[in-house]
Structure 1
Amino acid sequence: MLYTMTSTLPAQHGGRTKSLLSRIAMIEKHLGYATTILTTNYDAAYDRIVQIFREKNILSETTQIENIYEWLSGNRLYEATTPLVTSREIEGLRAVQVETDTVRYYDGNTYVLYRKYHEASDQLSFEDFMSPASKKKVERWQYNDNGRLHRKIRYSPKTHKKIHEQFYDQEGHIYCEKHYEEQKRNKLISIQTYQLGRPVHTFQTEKDLFLYYFNHRLTDGDIVFNDARLLDWSLLNCQVRTKNILVFHNSHLELDQQRIKKSYQTALEGSDRVAKYLVLTTHQKDEIQARFPIPDDQFAVIPHSIKPVEIDRTHVEDQFCFIGRFGKQKQLEHLLRSYAIFKRSGHPTKLALYGADEDGQLALMKQMMYLLNIEEDVLIHDFTSTPDQVFAASRASLLTSRFEGFGLTVMESINVGCPVIAYDVRYGPREIIEDGQNGYLVPEGDVTGFAEKMVEIVERPLPHVRTKPGLYETQGIENYRNLMNWLHTE
């Protein structure tokens, strides 16, 4: 059997999820191997996410998705059931509608309950039970898309942190519960699983639970692609002898570019249980081998690949763009400073930023825009599901990250004819960008040099922006063919 493991599979996703879904589709379509995806986070709406992916042709009908909580429930978590309607009136309580789908309930003048309904329906989304003493919620009951209870969360009356969770299947039976510390860290203390209402197994950590799941779900000889470092310990400590491919989507180094990230230590120190390390660049492979005695034949260097498209640059707007998370890693303060320097050249070119806030960076970005007096020229947008259209309409896309796993957006931009100006950081830009041909590489941290390349690309556009041949899908298919052949002969 062929498996892919990931901690989460969100409906709106970034580079890691996009990459693993592309790999699965490529291996199935061109090599004939169907994949089962195992996920380990809790999401009562996974059935809806799968449906969305299938409707968008992101997942084929033969690609299966299983979640650990669905497995723990005896496959009764996502069963199709009749929608359950809950009246908005409660006997003995006074209901006050706040918005179309939200209602507050009072016992006399005391606020005791808050209800949120699914949009335009009488099916509950969640209920918050309020403490008259603290005015804080003491419990939250959550309901699935059909209005059926799937989780109860209890909060500490002292710290108001989550201290207890109970998980229910579609028939209302408990199958799992978790206990947490009240202290600031709110550490998970224990996990208890149930069958037919009776406790059966206790675990101290989620990694212990994942290990139990993998030991019962996998069999000797299975091929497992693991895309999440969170799952490395559980996979590598399995009793079953699987062929493990650890896929690195990001840098294994801390921000200082010296220390190994804690999340990568298990993977790199457990090479005796790893069939292949799948890395995106030779640069990363070489730097790993400089620190760990891992031989060449334990590595597969397979960069992201892309299908060639017809390039249409007839509707380019006078703008630069950035697409990605608004996080610390992306160093958007560098991008804004470079853009402010660029504006001194007198060009009216705008800067369009597409993404979602992370770690409160958006507020800092807006403050910097104000201080740099570029508020009127920087356009901030939400995450886009059509990055190709944004790239195709931009003079150039920009990347000032401190590090990358590969820089998938760099490749996507160039593929539609949009050149890229990027810091020459670990890892990816130098493998994708041919300096002066399809973009420019700038030394990391050189804000002024970055601005100079922005001016150059406006005044002297690059005429023949093309993807390197080695990054096209045909080469990607061949790379995975070689890997799968090796795995089936070992």
Structure 2
Amino acid sequence: MKKKLFMTVWDMAVEKGGINKVMLRRSSLFSNEQFESELLTFDYKPNYGEIEKELRQTGQLAANCKITNVYDYYRDKLSQSEMTSQQKAYYEKASKLYENDDYWVEAEDNYARYFLNGMYIKYKKWNDDRVIEFIDYFTDNRIRIRREEFHKDGYINRETFYHSSNNKKNQERYYTKDGFCYLNIWYNHIKGNQQRLFLFSPHYQKAQSFANRIEFHTAWLNEICNLEPVKPIVICDGAGTASRVIGMDDSLVEKVYMMHSNHFEAPYTLGSKYKENLNEIIEVIPKGYTTVVLTKAQQLDLHKEIGNRGNIHVIPNFVEVNDKEVEKDPLLVTMIARYSPEKRIDEAIHSFAKVVQNVPKAKLEVYGAGAEKEKLEELIKELKLTNNVFLKGYTNHVQDIVTKASVSLITSSDEGMSIALIESLASRTPVISYDINYGPSEIIENGVNGYVVPNGDKEQLAEKIIHLLNHPEEVATLGAAGQKLVATEYTPEGYYEKWHDLLHNLPELEVY
């Protein structure tokens, strides 16, 4: 009988970064004759069905692996029938721009405001496909009191109520396909925190009460693990889900905690404070719970600070070697990074200003997404680099992108182990990286498969870029060495073997 392997993360999306990518790759490897993988999420999204479908179509999610969201789980479990005729009629009416002759309508693009005898009554929002997303309702004093959010299949998915004093939410109600309210969340409209959650079933009239969302999520994890005929394993991938997994009944599940990032705050080195979101994982390590990190350096730092109990394991990420024969652009440099402060893309751009002085036709293409896009665009204009530096947006085809480049850059303030680094090496593209914790100095050997420069040294970063752009023969040599390293040390087979051995030798822990 197959053993269920649950992997927890706060959310999944089509355009997400490293942790989601690692989980999807691992779930593909472990959807086999011994294991059945399932990804568990805790956020609220009305379109997980579409996300799962697209991830499957693009080959990122294995055919026999699924994504289960806590809200979708209870919605589907507690639905007794399909939509009623009343629901269908209401959705049809709600979808229309002009419902009847009673309203005066101000419409523009994908929204509309509705007035009744001069009074503002409600607001509608459609998506780009003209599918209704939500309706807001207002009092006579133009204070929003309620929002209805629609599922694409035509029923109200969630209803939010707002307090009249400050327009902050004080209650959310979640509905099944047939209109039954299965969950009610109370909020303090002043502080914004949750006050209580209530779970309802159409099969009995006793409501389950939870003090907060963490308690609710933990109860859900216990419920789904209790349904398994063989004791399952939960890999806690997302740091935001650690408190949920920690609270689970140890008699129902075997637990593995994963650290995908550096666990220190700035300056991200031994002796620094721990990151708040990883504190909970660090605290359970002394209790004997199996924990996985990506590099030997991080393992050593944890041993120095909390001791070596033999339960901190190193399993680095893996990639497939890219054997495509693609002619490299001798003047192209790439970065794969979120547009966020910790990636320090601004420093790469400043360095590239010096590169362009020496190699005027050099190009830097940065692939990613994030809140800093406008700020970075302004910097590019300010440094007069609009013909040399380009923000290319998100891509799911990293290795195809980096294969064309001569050089790849990493300027992050900290990493767990950059996937972009080994993806670049796998594509015969040498990497120039700041010397940061963790990863680069463990993988890059100076002058062999790339270069590591002092952390924050924009001058040396620029010098190494200029050097490689002026020496394409060295790019070829370093790239070949990098690809050979990946083909030896960071393979799917090696990754699977390490995880397989770990999961088959989890320690027997005392159940508290």
Q: TM-score, normalised by structure 2?
A: 0.87
Equivalent residue for 1:237? Answer: 247
Structure 1 pair 36–114 and aligned structure 2 pair: CA distance change class (3 A):
same
* Deviation (angstroms), 1:150: 0.4
Q: What are the within-5 Å matches in structure 2 for residues 66-105 of structure 1?
A: 66-73=68-75, 75-76=77-78, 84-86=91-93, 87-91=96-100, 92-99=102-109, 101-105=110-114
Give the 3-state SS of the residue equivalent to 1:28 in structure 2.
coil
* Deviation (angstroms), 1:435: 1.9
CA contact (8 A) 1:70 1:77 kept: no
Alpha-carbon displacement from aligned partner over 1:126-163 (angstroms, at most 9, x marks no partner): 112234534x5332211011121000122333333332
* Deviation (angstroms), 1:388: 1.9
Q: What are the within-5 Å matches in structure 2 for residues 278-427 of structure 1?
A: 278-295=292-309, 297-316=310-329, 318-358=331-371, 361-427=372-438
- Long gaps (5+) in structure 2: none
For 1:211, give the aligned amino acid: T
Structure 1 pair 345–232 and aligned structure 2 pair: CA distance change class (3 A):
same
The answer on 1:223 being equivalent to 2:236 is no
Equivalent residue for 1:109? Answer: 118
Q: TM-score, normalised by structure 1?
A: 0.91
Equivalent residue for 1:195? Answer: 201
- Long gaps (5+) in structure 1: none
Equivalent residue for 2:136? Answer: 128
* Deviation (angstroms), 1:78: 12
| Among candidates 499, 504, 508, match of residue 480 of structure 1 | 499
| Among candidates 438, 442, 447, match of residue 431 of structure 1 | 442
Give the 3-state SS of the residue equivalent to 2:31 in structure 1.
helix
Matches of 1:348 and 1:207 in 2, distance apart? 53
Matches of 2:13 and 2:327 in 1, distance apart? 35
For 2:283, give the aligned amino acid: E
CA contact (8 A) 1:285 1:299 kept: yes
* Deviation (angstroms), 1:230: 1.9
Matches of 2:325 and 2:10 in 1, distance apart? 38
Matches of 2:381 and 2:399 in 1, distance apart? 30
* Deviation (angstroms), 1:192: 1.7
Equivalent residue for 2:160? Answer: 153
* Deviation (angstroms), 1:451: 0.7
* Deviation (angstroms), 1:71: 3.1
Give the 3-state SS of the residue equivalent to 1:57 in structure 2.
coil
| Among candidates 45, 63, 78, match of residue 47 of structure 2 | 45
Q: Percentage identity across aligned positions?
A: 21
* Deviation (angstroms), 1:287: 0.7
Equivalent residue for 2:59? Answer: 57
Matches of 2:288 and 2:59 in 1, distance apart? 32
Give the 3-state SS of the residue equivalent to 1:232 in structure 2.
helix
Alpha-carbon displacement from aligned partner over 1:11-35 (angstroms, at most 9, x marks no partner): 2211100101101111224x74111
Give the 3-state SS of the residue equivalent to 1:152 in structure 2.
strand
Give the 3-state SS of the residue equivalent to 2:358 in structure 1.
coil
**Pairwise CA RMSD:** 2.5
* Deviation (angstroms), 1:298: 0.7
Alpha-carbon displacement from aligned partner over 1:423-462 (angstroms, at most 9, x marks no partner): 1111111233222222211111111111111111101132
| Among candidates 239, 245, 262, match of residue 251 of structure 1 | 262
Structure 1 pair 333–58 and aligned structure 2 pair: CA distance change class (3 A):
closer
CA contact (8 A) 1:2 1:34 kept: yes
| Among candidates 175, 184, 196, match of residue 168 of structure 1 | 175
Matches of 1:176 and 1:299 in 2, distance apart? 39
Matches of 2:81 and 2:286 in 1, distance apart? 40
Matches of 1:130 and 1:64 in 2, distance apart? 40
* Deviation (angstroms), 1:478: 2.1
Give the 3-state SS of the residue equivalent to 1:177 in structure 2.
strand
